[in-house]
Amino acid sequence: MHGIHAATRLLRRLGLAAALIWAGLALDAARASETVMILPGDAEVPVKAGQRLTVTLRGPEGASYWAEGLPDGLALDAASGRIEGAVGRAGTYGILVAASSDAGLAYGTLKIIAAGEAPSSPASGAAASALPAAAMAAMSSPSAAPMQSFFRDGKSDILWRNAINHELVIWRMDGTLALGANFTNGGIVGADWRVAAVGDFDGDGYADILWRSIETGQMVMWFMVGPNVKSFTVLPQMVGLTWEVAGAGDFNGDGRADILWRSIETGQLLVWFMNGAHCVSFSSGPIVDLTWRIAGVGNFTGAGNGKAGILWRCRNTRALLAWHMDGAAPLGFDFLSSQNYDAMWEVMAVGDYTGNGKADIWWRHRGTHQMVLWQMDGIHCINASFGSPAYLSREWETAALPIR
Ligand SMILES: [Ca+2]
Ligand SMILES: [Ca+2]
């Protein structure tokens, strides 16, 4: 019974118990071979490398299970929820687990900490620790290319979707100026799908498009070259609709866009570190009061070695706050010096539109649909100018500013 008490304490500490019960998962006390535990929510399993372990995920009757990020040596039985095997290599492994049933979809995180002879790597996920120091240094240097550039020209672009006929158009941008409007060749995607985020998920320099079904939460990634779809992948994971994709950016500095999640119930943050459509590892971040809304993802100051940060806007005061991040952890924050826009103005996109390596902010007026670019130098707006064109009719929406 030691295991269940430890897990329950952990859940209490994380304040997650209520959400999980609602989601249909319950703690399981079964004890099998050597090490057994756990379960849903966020849980940690300490083991020795090479030691056999069994972890049983327990969801509602008839649930099927998946796990993403299992280390070599462990396997999941999707029908029973049993994860069995032995972790060959010492390390800390973050695993995303979920149970899917008629009652809905619940997910949690499982951390397996495998101790070995050598000190275990602090890195979450297996791959990073094997890299030589030089490669790590190269990977963590600031990425020159903005994550929202469809044309690999060093400047972010704007993806529009028409809420009525669902056409997709990419404006190739140079600062405030739209150089051209390009229809994508991906065809018309139905109304139950939404553009969840734009980012270069595979690191080839071209922005890609993440779709999410508003009915099921299923996700599809389009890998782009310019406005054309090169290939697409259905993501194996599904996350319940109480979590929303808040944006995409390179939170760990490996040159690939990652997915920022936020719970619409608790305000909890979660980052999926991506390699293309594959979630390599993930970290949960702080819980932030829901009076603060995520307006965009971008790095305004260069802090965190160029890694993506988060732009927050307070629903009450309209204050703008930039968080500087390292992975899912905030390093510090700054209030933006200009914050005098009223509620009629909404942030429609964040990206590097001027090509100076720092994020800028596009605003759109809810009444006139005019667009204004704040050209930013750090946390200071050095120029606010209308776009050219200066407005677009209401039915055109961006990922960050859907019509609701
Ligand atoms: Ca790409
Ligand atoms: Ca990344």
**Sequential DSSP letters for 298-329:** --SS-GGGG---EEEEETTT--EEEEEEETTE
Residue 256 CA to ligand 1 center (angstroms) comes to 8
Ligand nearest to the CA of 228: 1
Six-digit token pair at 154? Answer: 């060093």
Ligand nearest to the CA of 307: 2
Residue 311 CA to ligand 2 center (angstroms) comes to 18
- Stretches where the chain sits below pLDDT 50 are 1-41, 117-143
Q: How high is the pLDDT of residue 300?
A: 94
Q: How high is the pLDDT of residue 108?
A: 59
φ, ψ of residue 8 to 5 degrees: the values are -65, -40
Residue (of 171, 176, 177, 179) closest to 150 by Cα position: 171
Q: How high is the pLDDT of residue 45?
A: 72
Neighbours of 354 (CB within 10 A): 22
Residue 157 CA to ligand 2 center (angstroms) comes to 19
Alpha helices in 99-255 (DSSP H): 133-140
Q: How high is the pLDDT of residue 80?
A: 84
Residue 117 CA to ligand 2 center (angstroms) comes to 30
Residue 205 CA to ligand 2 center (angstroms) comes to 13
Residue with tokens 């009652």: 103
Residue 141 CA to ligand 1 center (angstroms) comes to 19
Q: How high is the pLDDT of residue 290?
A: 94
Q: How high is the pLDDT of residue 60?
A: 63
Ligand nearest to the CA of 128: 2
Rg over CA atoms, the chain: 22
Sign of CA dihedral 293, 312, 169, 369: positive
Respond yes or no on whether the N-terminal peptide bond of residue 389 is cis (omega within 30° of 0): yes
Question: Which residues is 371 bridged to in the sheet?
Answer: 364
Q: How high is the pLDDT of residue 206?
A: 97
Q: Is 8 helix (H, G, I), strand (E, B) or coil?
A: helix
Q: Buried b / exposed e across 27-55, counting CB within 10 Å, b at 16+?
A: bbeeeeeebbbbbbbbbebebbbeeebbb
Residue 99 CA to ligand 1 center (angstroms) comes to 30
Residue 146 CA to ligand 2 center (angstroms) comes to 12
- The span from the CA of 394 to the CA of 163, in Å, is 9
Ligand nearest to the CA of 203: 1
Q: How high is the pLDDT of residue 11?
A: 35
Q: How high is the pLDDT of residue 391?
A: 87
